[in-house]
Amino acid sequence: MPKEREKCPAGKEVLAMLKTVEGAVVAGEMAVNCKPDVVACYPITPTTHLTEALNKAYADGKIPEYITVEAEFSALSALVGASAAGARTFTTTGGQGLLYMHEVLFSAAGMRLPIVMLVGNRAVSSPLNIWNDEQDSISQRDSGWIQIYCKSNQEAVDAIPQAFYVAEKIFLPVMVCVDGHYLTHAVEQVDVVDEKRVQSFLPPYKYPLKLDPENPVSLGVYANPTHYQAFREDLMKDMETAKELLIEAGKKWGAVSGRSYGLFTEYKVKDAERVLIGLGSVMDNVITVVDELREKGEKVGALHLRVFRPFPREELRKALEGKNIGVIDRDISIGAQAPVYVDIAEALNGTSTKISSFYGGLGGRGIKRAHVREMFEKMKKGPVKEWVASTDVKLL
């Protein structure tokens, strides 16, 4: 039954159709509402159910073209061609699948193709592990793809049309990153905005340089040392511009759905002394602990970094300057500091901000509320850099 919701920022009444549904499946429903012309996927845990949902949509005639491929490299390569030919394209992968796409990720971004991909975040081999962390997408952060991290399935479903909106305006591909299992397999209430309203939000896709045999061009071909860097500089500049578009899309989506989005979500950050920052579903646990500690009178807060690329450097500096902050990385950079921590530390360089780094929760090791309490406690004493959710396990 449609249920009336609060007034959205634009003042209009918005009707929400709440469904109790699995994350990966409902993402497929939203992808179909965005009317992609071509989909190519190679199924991999944890987004196999999304692949199935897209396959079913194709069988039902809701997607015009579905290319079955033999691997993830081919899936993304097929979409590079389709996108350049003027098609709106969508795919999904995660973990090893994303790593297998590595080369094509850079090509797609360099060719300025607005492909949208849902990444079901999964640990990478070795050892083999199908559970969740964010090592896969974090390791692709320099590829030129916009990266949106979602803290719930509602955020994931809302991020897909916004991803198309931004991608097709700035001509950059977008990864919508959703924690594998924690979200992809979670069954929860989600409001799926219907096709008509999605279409009112999303203008039709038009690639300025359509591949056409009558007027042939080659894309992404050889560039001399004289020219190559100029293309990369242009890419860098446009990625910076994408920030404004992401904010614009987040606001416009608010008018459509009643849920607005920004580059990051602050939760009781303004007057907080200690703030934990992180990406994805772990932040829901942090928010719960913030509420709990606030009741005891502790001034704590949470910041969910929704957009990791482009990195909201200045915006974060403004929000966090002078506080005692802790960065949760569910990914590591072997032989160096944790990647998200490094970016945030750079953004706050030269300020009096105390910054702790907590890394862990890898390969399905949950970061529980007890761990969050422990992190907030450790931050009191001063900046630390250490593993989180680390336990003594006998390996052999």
Partner 1 sequence: MIIPHAKPGTSAKNLTGEWKAYMPVVEGSKCIKCGICQNFCPEGIMGVVKKVPEIDYEYCKGCSICAIECPVKCIEMERIEDD
The residues binding partner 1 (CB under 8 A) are 110-112, 170-171, 208-209, 216-226, 230-231, 234, 238
CB of 206 to partner 1, least distance (A): 13
Q: Give the HSE-up count for residue 165: Cα atoms under 13 Å, Cβ half-sphere.
A: 21
The dihedral through the CA atoms of 155, 156, 157, 163 has a sign that is: positive
CB of 130 closer than 8 Å to CB of 184: no
64-84 core/surface letters (b: 16 or more CB in 10 A; e: else): eebbebeebbbbbbbbbbbbb
DSSP state of 215: S
By C-alpha distance, which of 324, 328, 380, 369 is closest to 348?
324
Rounded Cα–Cα distance for residues 267 and 333 (Å) = 28
CB of 64 closer than 8 Å to CB of 38: yes
Q: In which residue are the tokens 């340089």 written?
A: 209
Measured from the CB atom, the residue of 128 and 223 that comes closer to partner 1 is 223
**Token representation of residue 211:** 């591949």
CB of 231 to partner 1, least distance (A): 5
Measured from the CB atom, the residue of 18 and 219 that comes closer to partner 1 is 219
Measured from the CB atom, the residue of 208 and 382 that comes closer to partner 1 is 208
Measured from the CB atom, the residue of 221 and 395 that comes closer to partner 1 is 221
Measured from the CB atom, the residue of 229 and 351 that comes closer to partner 1 is 229
**Token representation of residue 170:** 């700035």
DSSP string, 339-369: HHHHHHHHHTTTSS-EEEEEEE--TT----H
Measured from the CB atom, the residue of 213 and 297 that comes closer to partner 1 is 213
Measured from the CB atom, the residue of 116 and 138 that comes closer to partner 1 is 116
CB of 185 to partner 1, least distance (A): 38
Measured from the CB atom, the residue of 222 and 350 that comes closer to partner 1 is 222
Measured from the CB atom, the residue of 126 and 224 that comes closer to partner 1 is 224
By C-alpha distance, which of 271, 325, 329 is closest to 303?
325
CB of 245 to partner 1, least distance (A): 12
CB of 236 to partner 1, least distance (A): 12
CB of 168 to partner 1, least distance (A): 12
Phi-psi label, residue 331: left if phi above 0, alpha if psi -120 to 50, beta otherwise:
beta
CB of 140 to partner 1, least distance (A): 20
CB of 77 to partner 1, least distance (A): 17
Rounded Cα–Cα distance for residues 200 and 290 (Å) = 38
Residue 67's contacts (CB-CB under 8 Å, 6 or more residues apart) are: 38, 39, 40, 75, 78, 82
CB of 199 to partner 1, least distance (A): 25
